[in-house]
Amino acid sequence: MPIWTQLPPALTLRGWALVPPTWQQWITTLAALPDQVLPPAQPLGLEGWNDVFTDGSCLWQSAACYRLASWAVVLAPPCRSSWTPEATTVLCASVLAGVCQTAFRAEVYAVAYILHWAASTGAAVRIWSDCLGVVNKVKLACKRQLRVAINRPNNDLWQWIVESIEQLGPEKVQIRKVAAHRTLQSATNTVDAWEIFHNNYVDNAAKLANHARPEQFWRQWETHVQETQVAHNLAQQVQALHVAVGRRHVRADTADDRQEVPTTRVTREFATAFSFGQWHGHAFPQTSRLFGGTHVVRVVQWFQARTEGVPLTDVRWVSFAQLYLDYQMCWGLPGPLRVQNQWVDIQQRPHLTTAGFSFRQQLKWFRQLLKAMWKEAAMVVGMAQCRPDTNDHCFCAECFGSLGVTCTHHC
């Protein structure tokens, strides 16, 4: 019998993903985990500060359907030059009870646990945590500025923390952020090594507590994971089928309703324009002062040679790159170069080469010179970003002038 005949309409018709058949039993197992507050393995000291490291761990954090969390609390010896790892004590490490299994909730529970026992004995605690979110909210609680909303996640644990701090007294609570996932080799001093060692110690304790579960629990977990993946894959296949059917239906309707209407592609036209204006071969004093007289003299001679005898009606598109290449072939020089914010002539600087200047940069400077000349002479030179007219023409030095000086393309 095909499997689709056994699926409920919620999945086949609506595409709603179904929970696996093991879901109810799995949730019941999580809810039945012991939630009593276990006593610490060693009582907290009533004199001075108790340095306590807390941490939470979570297996398969991204898989909300079957992830598992745990927590741990470690009592560290005072940070002195003579401290040794033998004095470190695991106060408590256990699995996280309840259906909400997240790393953040495990971090919060570890802090709530130690504050609870500190409040019951009146011991001052200095908490070290690598979770910045927990550290910031506990600091607000110590300042009596934390508002616990009843509809917020983990509100039960935060309310527990607020009550414990109020009972113990904010002056007996400190919390500090410690860097996570560091090695002892990265320590720079004794205090740094002390923090790294105990943070890694409590992290390992939380991970061991997460794995220390009965064999029966892991068998149930493996069955639940398999059923969850089967349900997920099945839902993905049904949803993909829904999408494929919908797309085919849309294409069919579009093909039936669409009418073949001949469309004419509108091509943009670029109007050419060129006029000498008031220029009749005279010099360019402003451009010469800016770029140097030798550059302007060469460009004027080259420009006159290329435009002399060419009818103004034969105006075509030529790119700046083509003009610049023709100028180089004519003079054998690169044109103006910008060195230390000054325009220089390579003919007057024998030691200077163009090795450090890209072709694009040289072309940019040459274009600036041409535009400055045209502006000073009040010439009319059309410019646009379009394809140059190069279909039937080559661009060697002999025949380039037949194209005339025309609008240019920023190549």
In tens, the pLDDT along 299-341 reads 888 888 888 777 767 788 888 898 999 888 988 888 889 888 8
**What b/e sequence results for 34-51 when a residue is b if at least 16 CB atoms lie within 10 Å of its CB, and e otherwise?**
eeeeeebeeebeeeeebb
Asked if residue 401 lies in contact with residue 329, where contact means CB atoms within 8 angstroms, the answer is no
Domain-embedded: residue 3 = no
**Residue 215 pLDDT > 80:** yes
Query: What residues have CB less than 8 Å from 263, skipping those under 6 apart?
Result: none
**Residue 403 pLDDT > 60:** no
Q: How confident is the model at residue 76 (pLDDT cuts 50, 70, 90)?
A: very high
Please indicate, yes or no, whether residues 172 and 30 belong to a single structural domain of this protein.
yes
Please indicate, yes or no, whether residues 221 and 345 belong to a single structural domain of this protein.
no
| pLDDT value, residue 71 | 95
Helix axes 215-257, 23-31, angle to 10 degrees: 140
Does 205 or 1 have the greater pLDDT score? 205
% of the chain residues with pLDDT over 70: 91
- CA neighbor of 129 nearest in space, from 116, 141, 114: 114
Beta strands (DSSP E) in 104-187 are 124-129, 173-177
| pLDDT value, residue 317 | 85
- The rounded distance, in Å, linking the Cα atoms of 251 and 271 is 42
| pLDDT value, residue 198 | 94
Q: What is the pLDDT of residues 281-301, one digit of tens each?
A: 777 888 888 888 888 888 888
Q: Which domain holds residue 338?
A: 274-403
Please indicate, yes or no, whether residues 126 and 215 belong to a single structural domain of this protein.
yes
Highest mean pLDDT among 78-92, 192-206, 377-391: 192-206
Please indicate, yes or no, whether residues 214 and 305 belong to a single structural domain of this protein.
no
Please indicate, yes or no, whether residues 71 and 211 belong to a single structural domain of this protein.
yes
Burial class (CB in 10 A: 0-12, 13-18, 19+), 224: buried
| pLDDT value, residue 255 | 63
**Residue 205 pLDDT > 70:** yes
Q: Identify the residue whose tokens are 């390579």.
A: 346
What the block records as the tokens of 110 is: 């570890």
Does 303 or 129 have the greater pLDDT score? 129
| pLDDT value, residue 253 | 67
3-state class of 277 per DSSP?
coil
Domain-embedded: residue 364 = yes
Domain-embedded: residue 233 = no
For residue 118, the domain's CATH number is 3.30.420.10
Q: How far is CA 341 from CA 288, 296, 337, 338, in A?
A: 16, 18, 10, 6
Q: Identify the residue whose tokens are 């079957």.
A: 66
Please indicate, yes or no, whether residues 42 and 139 belong to a single structural domain of this protein.
yes
